[in-house]
Structure 1
C-alpha cells in the first residue's frame, strides 16, 4: 500500500519533502523487514534471496527515481515508475507470502505440538490417577480396613501392600505391629485364664474350707456330717471317693468314722495295707500311692492329744493332683483333727463335770437328807424299845412327822437345785426367776440388782453363783425370820465379781459349828470351785450378809 502511495505522490507531483518523508518511512519499514529476514535467515531457504531482490530494486531503481523528482515529473519518469512499482509490489508480496507460508507452517507445527502436549498431559494425568489408585488409595484403603479389623480384635488382618515404597514399608511395619499385638493379647488372655482358674480354685478351696470349718465347729461330730464333708470334697476337688479313719492311743484296727468308697475298694484298701501301715506312712505328710491300678492319696489327721487319723482318697490313675488340692485336703485334715480334739476335750470336761456334780450331790444328800434320815432312824429305834410312856411316844411320833416333812422339803429343794439350768435367755433371767420363786415360797419381798455384763460369766460360773444364791435364800427361809431380802451382783474396777445376799432377820450364831450348818459348807465348797472367797457375817443394822467375791475366767483372759 505504501508503494502505491509513493506512486500516487509521483503522479500528482507532490512536493519533494513529502515524497522524501514517505521514502524514508518506507526505508525504515524495509530495514525492519531486513532485520527480521537476517535474524531468521537460518529458518528460510528462499526468503533471503527474494528479499535481496526487493532491497536491490528499491535501492537501485525506485528510491533514486522518487528522490529525483522535483515538481511535476515528466511522462517518461511516471511511465517508468508505473511499470516498476507494480513489479516491486509483486516482489514484496512474494516475500510476504514466503513469510506467511513459513509462519503458517510454524503455527501448524505449534498446534501439533500443543495437541501432542495436551495428549501427553492427559496420558500423564491418567497414569498418575492409575498409580494413585493402585499405589496410594488402594493400599491406604486396605490399611484402613485392616486397622478396623484389628480394632474389632481380629488380629488375623494384614496389610497386603508390602512393596518397597513408603506405603509398603508402612504395611510391613503394620503387619509386624499386629503380630506383636496378637502375641501380647494371646499371652494376656492366657494369663487371665490362668489367673481366673487360680482364683476359681482359690475360691472353691476357701468355700470348701469355710464349709468344712463350719461343719466341724459343731459340738457333736456325726457320721452323717463327715459323710457330707466327703461328698463336698468329692464335688469341689474332683476326687473320686474317700474314707475317714481314726485311732485312739494308736490302737488298731482303727475306727472308720465314715466312707463313700465302694465296699470292694474298702476291702482292697484295708486288706492289702492294714491300718498300721496306712497310719504310719501318712502321719507326717500327704503322699500318693499306686497299687493294683488304683491311685490313692493319703491325708494325715495329725496327732492331737491321743487321737490320730488318716483320710485316703481314690483319684484317677492318669491324674496328677495339683499342689493346692493337697494343701486344701491337709487343711481340712488339720481342722478335723482339731475338731476331734476339741470334742474329746469337751467330753473329758463333761466327764469331770459329771463326776464333780455327783460328788456335790452325794455331799449335799449326806449333809442334809442323810442327817435327817439318821435322826428319824434314832427316833424309830426308841419306839421299837417299847419302854416309853404314851406321852413320850406321842412326842416321838410328832418329831418323826416333823422330821419327815423337813426331809421331804429338803429333798424337793435339792431336786429343784439339781434341775437348775440356764438357757439362752442368760444369767439375768435365771436370777430373776430364782428370786421370784423364793419370794413366793417364803412370802418375803426380795430386791434384786444385777450390774454384771451379760457375757462376763461362763456357764459353769453362772451355775455355781446361782446355787450359792439359792442356798443362801434357803437358809434365810429356814433360820433368818427375815421380812426383807436384798441381792446385788456388781463388778469392781479390779474386775472382781461381788455377790451380796442380805436379810434383816435375827442373824447367825457360831458359823463354825457343823450342826445344822451343812448349807454353809456347801456354799464354801462352791466358792472354792470358783477360786473365790465367801464370807458370812452379821450386819450392824441387824440381819445377815453372805458375801461372795471371785475373779471370773473371762476377766483373767482379757487382762
Structure 2
C-alpha cells in the first residue's frame, strides 16, 4: 500500500512569486531574442558594407592590372584577402558576422571560389588584356552582388521576426498586467473584502458571522483566525455574566486574603512576646484558611521536638496529647530535610500493615478531623516551627493558597527571629550595664573594703596584743577608709546620674567640676576652644565618664592644689585633664595597682572610637588626654542634624 505524502498548501507569497517568476522568465526570453535579432541585424549590415568594399577593391585591382604596378597590385590583393578573412571569421570588436542561413553561406562560398580562380588568372603568366580584365571583374562583381542579395534577404527575414517579437512583447506586457490584476483580485482583494464584510457584521453585534475559507494561504489562515475569534467572542459573550461573577468572587477572595495578610503582618510587628504572637497568629490563620482548627508549633534549636505554643479550635484532649511532639513521631512534626507544605489526608485505618500510621494519626482521627495541612516555618535553612491547619472535611490545597500560607509562615519566622534578636539585645544591654557597674564597684568600693578589711585585722591584732597606740592608729585608718568609701559611693552615684544636656557638653562638664570642688576642696578651671560639630548623646556620656575617672584619680592620688580641664573641638575633639600634683613614674611597677582607673578610661574611649594617653613627671603633675577620631565627631554631628 503506497502512502502519498500530504500536499503542502501554497502560501500567498509563493503564489505571487510563481506568477512573477513566470512573467519575468517570459520577459527575459523575449528581451534575449530581441537582443539576438538586433545583433544579427547589425552584423549583417556590417557584412553588407564589407561586401561593398570588396566591389570597390575588385574594380581598383582591375585598374591596377592595366597600369602594371606590381607593388600596388600585391597590396590590393592582400587587402582583398583580409576582407574575405574578416567575412569568414567575423569581427568580435564590432558587430560584423555573416548570417548563418544556407543561402548566404552558399553565396559566400561561391565568392571565395571565384576569387581563387580570378587571382590565379591575374597573377600567373603574362598580364591579361584590358578587355579580359574588365569582363572577369564584371563577372566577379556579379557574384558579390548575389552574395549581398542573400545577406539582405536574410536581414529582411530577421527584421520581420523582430517586428513580430516586439508585437509579442507588447501583448505579453498587456497579458502580464491583466494577470497581475486578476491575481491581485483573486488572491488579495476578494479575501480582504470577505474579511471586511465579516468584521462589519461583528461590529454590528452579529457574533455568528463567519468567513468562508477558500484557500490555505495567509488569507486562509486569517479567515480561520477570524472564525475562531468570532466563536470565542460569541462564547465569551454568552458566558460573560458567569465569568464576571466568578472573577468578582475571585477578586473578593484575593482581597480577603490580602487583608488577612496585612493583618497578620501588622500583628507580628506589634507582638511583644512569643506566646502572644503565636496565639494571635493561630487565630488569624484559622480564619484566613477557613479551617476548623489551627496550631502553631515551635521547634528547638536542634529540631528534636515540637512544642505546641498556641492553638485555636483544637479539642483540649488533642492539645494535651500533642503538647510536645518528637520530630518524626507524627506527620505534623517534620524534619528539616523533608519539610514541605503538604496536605495529609486522615483516612480510617485498620490494624495491620498501617498500624504505625494509625498510631501517628490516631489523635486527629479521634478528634474527627479528615485532613491536616502542615506548613514549615523556616528561616535561613533553620527550622523554627510549623503551622498546622485541621479540617473535618477532605481538603485540597491550590497553588495560590499554598503560596499564601508559605508567605504567612515566612512572616511568622521573621517575627520569631525579631523577638529573639530583641531579647538578645536586651540581654546584652543588661550584661553590659552589669559589667560596667561591676567595674565601677571593683575600682572604687571593692578596693576600699579590702583596705578596711586589712585595718580591721590590724585592729584585732592590736587589741589582742594590748597595743593601744596601734589600735588607735587602726581606728584612725578605719575612719579615713570609711570616709573615703562614702565619698566613692557618692561619686559613683553621681557618675551614674550624670546626663548631658542636648547637643552641648559644657553644662555637664561645669556641673561635674563643681561637685569635684565640693568633694575635694581643690580649685578647677574649664576652657573650651573653637567651635565644631557636636557629639552624639552616647559619645558625650562616655567622654564625661572619662573626665570623671581622671578627676577621681586626681582626688585620690595626685595631692594637687589645682586642676585644669581644656576642650578642643576642631579639627577633632580633644579633652585634657591636667593637675599640679606630685605626679608619678609611668613605668613604675605599681602603675596598675595605683592608677586602676586608667584601664576603665581606655575601655570607654575604645567604645566610642577614641584613645586615652596619660603622661606624668614626678613632682610636676600629670596629664590625661582623650582624643576622638574626626569620623566620630562628624558622624555624630550628621546624626544630630538629621534628627
Give the TM interval when normalised to the shorter protein.
0.5 to 0.7
Q: Structure 1 residues 273, 398: CA separation in 2 closer, same or farther (over 3 Å shift)?
A: closer
Question: Aligned-pair distance for 1:199?
Answer: 5.3
Determine the structure 2 residue equivalent to 1:407: 485
Matched, 1:374 2:450: yes
Q: Distance in 1 between matches of 2:501 and 2:405?
A: 41
Question: Aligned-pair distance for 1:520?
Answer: 1.0
Question: Aligned-pair distance for 1:214?
Answer: 3.8
Q: Structure 1 residues 249, 477: CA separation in 2 closer, same or farther (over 3 Å shift)?
A: same
Asked if the contact 1:537–1:544 (Cα under 8 Å) also holds between the matched residues in 2, the reply is yes
Question: Aligned-pair distance for 1:333?
Answer: 1.7
Say which of 173, 176, 182 aligns to 2:206: 176
Question: Aligned-pair distance for 1:260?
Answer: 1.2
Say which of 312, 327, 335 aligns to 2:411: 335
1:424-503 matches, cutoff 5 A: 428=502, 434-435=508-509, 437-443=511-517, 451-452=533-534, 467-475=545-553, 479=558, 481-482=561-562, 485-487=565-567, 500-503=574-577
Asked if the contact 1:501–1:547 (Cα under 8 Å) also holds between the matched residues in 2, the reply is yes
Matched, 1:279 2:333: yes
| Partner SS state of residue 375, structure 1 | helix
Asked if the contact 2:379–2:414 (Cα under 8 Å) also holds between the matched residues in 1, the reply is no
Q: Out of 312-321 and 443-452, give the one that drifted further.
A: 443-452
Determine the structure 1 residue equivalent to 2:188: none
Q: Distance in 2 between matches of 1:289 and 1:197?
A: 28
Question: Aligned-pair distance for 1:476?
Answer: 5.5
Q: Structure 1 residues 327, 189: CA separation in 2 closer, same or farther (over 3 Å shift)?
A: same
Q: Distance in 2 between matches of 1:515 and 1:467?
A: 20
When the two structures are aligned, how many residues end up with a matched partner? 373
Q: Structure 1 residues 305, 297: CA separation in 2 closer, same or farther (over 3 Å shift)?
A: closer
Question: Aligned-pair distance for 1:323?
Answer: 2.4
Q: Out of 468-477 and 234-243, give the one that drifted further.
A: 468-477
Question: Aligned-pair distance for 1:288?
Answer: 1.0
Asked if the contact 2:307–2:323 (Cα under 8 Å) also holds between the matched residues in 1, the reply is no
Pairwise CA RMSD? 4.8
Determine the structure 1 residue equivalent to 2:282: 230
1:47-66 matches, cutoff 5 A: none
Matched, 1:312 2:366: no
Asked if the contact 2:501–2:507 (Cα under 8 Å) also holds between the matched residues in 1, the reply is no
Asked if the contact 1:476–1:503 (Cα under 8 Å) also holds between the matched residues in 2, the reply is no
| Partner SS state of residue 239, structure 1 | coil
Q: Structure 1 residues 410, 189: CA separation in 2 closer, same or farther (over 3 Å shift)?
A: farther
Q: Structure 1 residues 446, 309: CA separation in 2 closer, same or farther (over 3 Å shift)?
A: farther
| Partner SS state of residue 301, structure 1 | strand
Q: Which whole-Å deviations, capped at 9, do the CAs of 1:46-79 have from their partners, x for residues lacking one? A: xxxxxxxxxxxxxxxxxxxxxxxxxxxxxxxxxx
Q: Distance in 2 between matches of 1:441 and 1:251?
A: 58
Matched, 1:546 2:625: yes
Q: Structure 1 residues 502, 321: CA separation in 2 closer, same or farther (over 3 Å shift)?
A: same
Rg larger for: 1
Q: Distance in 1 between matches of 2:602 and 2:411?
A: 41
Q: Distance in 1 between matches of 2:324 and 2:468?
A: 87
Question: Aligned-pair distance for 1:311?
Answer: 1.0
Asked if the contact 2:303–2:327 (Cα under 8 Å) also holds between the matched residues in 1, the reply is no
Determine the structure 2 residue equivalent to 1:144: none
1:70-469 matches, cutoff 5 A: 174=204, 176-177=206-207, 184=236, 200-217=252-269, 220-250=272-302, 253-264=305-316, 266-267=318-319, 270=322, 275-276=327-328, 277=330, 278-280=332-334, 284-291=339-346, 292=365, 293-302=369-378, 308-315=384-391, 317-352=393-428, 354-355=430-431, 357-384=433-460, 385-386=462-463, 394-417=472-495, 428=502, 434-435=508-509, 437-443=511-517, 451-452=533-534, 467-469=545-547
Question: Aligned-pair distance for 1:258?
Answer: 1.5
Q: Distance in 1 between matches of 2:278 and 2:425?
A: 24
Scaled by the length of structure 1, the TM-score of the pair is: 0.53
Asked if the contact 1:303–1:309 (Cα under 8 Å) also holds between the matched residues in 2, the reply is no
Q: Which whole-Å deviations, capped at 9, do the CAs of 1:114-164 have from their partners, x for residues lacking one? A: xxxxxxxxxxxxxxxxxxxxxxxxxxxxxxxxxxxxxxxxxxxxxxxxxxx
Q: Distance in 2 between matches of 1:360 and 1:210?
A: 43
| Partner SS state of residue 282, structure 2 | helix
Question: Aligned-pair distance for 1:312?
Answer: 0.4
Q: Structure 1 residues 307, 300: CA separation in 2 closer, same or farther (over 3 Å shift)?
A: closer
Question: Aligned-pair distance for 1:501?
Answer: 2.6
| Partner SS state of residue 254, structure 1 | strand
Q: Structure 1 residues 174, 249: CA separation in 2 closer, same or farther (over 3 Å shift)?
A: closer
Q: Which whole-Å deviations, capped at 9, do the CAs of 1:431-454 have from their partners, x for residues lacking one? A: 678546524412567678883575
Structure 1 gaps, min length 5: 1-169, 493-497
